[in-house]
Amino acid sequence: MKTWQKFLLGIAGVFALTTLAACSSSNNTLDKVKDKGTLTVALNPHFAPFEFKTLQDGKDTVVGADVEIAKAIADELGVKVKFSEMSFDNVLASVQSGKADIAISGISATKERQKTFDFSDTYYESETVLVVKKDDTGTYKQTSDFAKKSVAVQKGSIQEKIAKSNLSDANVVALSQPGEAINELKSGQVDGVVLEKAIAQGYVEQNSDLAVSDIKLKSDSNDAYAVAMPKGSDELKAKVNKVITKLKKEGKIDSFVQDAYALSLKSPTK
Ligand code: ARG
């Protein structure tokens, strides 16, 4: 065979192989997960009672209500579950890039996010509150009292927008973890933290110098939590919804949240 013939044959071979590879790697999320035998779940485990870390048998373990939901989904699919930890502003991006199969991280299924992701049925109603120093509850009575003040939020969360729209004259500081925001409040670097009620409750319970303010914050989006999947995950979504419907019917979601809350108070979150 002449060199040029070998060369052509080589090119044909490479072409055939890539075509084959492209056909066998399915773009169906459910098949992908089943083929791998593992469901990779993206989350930001600094969000008790939904996902946080605690020592179990001397090992740092991710626990929480979302973790229980993820396990139930993996059981339904007959695969193992793997938790992939990251900052919240990377959680949805990792589903989009395919690094994670799904994300369960107290994610509010907003209209805007629905443009880019498929969402399951919602499993938890969320409400956003303002945490302040207990001594300041009398000082801050309405949103306008936050003019020229600083409030902290978790970066990438819907609380970033809620803080900006409700407290328009405040300086909104976006931090990587809710715990950092709470620490800045305690040390006086910020005057308030905008956080979801279920998460705020834990911090207030563990920090006697903090309180949830009576100021009501409005949200114009869908704030309830849902499981995020890549667009076009119809089959996986059907399975996830089946699990969520069952868990809700059995009252399991509420008990997951209550149990995880009790656990988070016993082993303070980082
Ligand atoms: N529910 C809010 C949102 O979707 C905050 C979620 C933060 N979750 C977390 N695990 N840190 O934007």
Provide the residue count of the chain: 270
Judged against a pLDDT cut of 70, whether residue 260 lies above it is answered with: yes
Tell me if the pTM is above 0.75.
Answer: yes
Q: Are residues 253 and 120 in the same domain?
A: yes
**Any ligand 1 atom below 6 A from CB of 106:** yes
3 lies in some domain: no
Q: Are residues 189 and 63 in the same domain?
A: no
Judged against a pLDDT cut of 80, whether residue 102 lies above it is answered with: yes
Tell me which of 168, 189, 212 is where a domain ends.
212
Q: Which amino acid is at 114?
A: Q
154 lies in some domain: yes
**Any ligand 1 atom below 6 A from CB of 124:** no
Whose Cα sits closest to atom 12 in ligand 1? 157
CA of 158 to the centre of ligand 1 (A): 7
Ligand 1 test: best mutation among 92, 124, 155, 158, most atoms within 8 Å of CB? Answer: 158
Of 259, 266, 268, which is closest to residue 50 (Cα–Cα)?
259
**Any ligand 1 atom below 6 A from CB of 126:** yes
Q: Are residues 137 and 153 in the same domain?
A: yes
- Percent of the chain at pLDDT > 70 equals 89
Report whether 202 contacts 264 (CB < 8 A): yes
217 lies in some domain: no
CA of 68 to the centre of ligand 1 (A): 17
Q: Are residues 13 and 118 in the same domain?
A: yes
Judged against a pLDDT cut of 60, whether residue 20 lies above it is answered with: no
* CATH code at position 176: 3.40.190.10
Q: Are residues 154 and 37 in the same domain?
A: no
Which has more pLDDT, 2 or 97? 97
**DSSP class of residue 124?**
B
Which pLDDT belongs to residue 26?
54
Q: What is the mean pLDDT of residues 18-22?
A: 50
**Any ligand 1 atom below 6 A from CB of 83:** no
How far apart (Å, rounded) are the C-alpha atoms in residues 214 and 131?
Answer: 9
Q: Are residues 176 and 199 in the same domain?
A: yes
Which pLDDT belongs to residue 23?
44
Q: Are residues 26 and 109 in the same domain?
A: yes
228 lies in some domain: yes
Q: How many domains does the chain have?
A: 2
Q: Are residues 228 and 118 in the same domain?
A: yes
**Which residues form the domain of 168?**
128-212
Judged against a pLDDT cut of 90, whether residue 22 lies above it is answered with: no
Ligand 1 atom nearest to 66, measured from its CA: 10
Q: Sheet containing 51-56: which strands, arranged edge to edge?
A: 46-47, 51-56, 59-63
Q: Are residues 197 and 249 in the same domain?
A: no
Q: Are residues 232 and 203 in the same domain?
A: no
Q: What is the mean pLDDT of residues 221-231?
A: 95
Tell me which of 192, 212, 232 is where a domain ends.
212
**Phi, psi (rounded to 5 degrees) for 58:** 75, 5
CA of 217 to the centre of ligand 1 (A): 16
Judged against a pLDDT cut of 60, whether residue 100 lies above it is answered with: yes
Whose Cα sits closest to atom 5 in ligand 1? 157
Report whether 65 contacts 257 (CB < 8 A): yes
Burial class (CB in 10 A: 0-12, 13-18, 19+), 95: buried
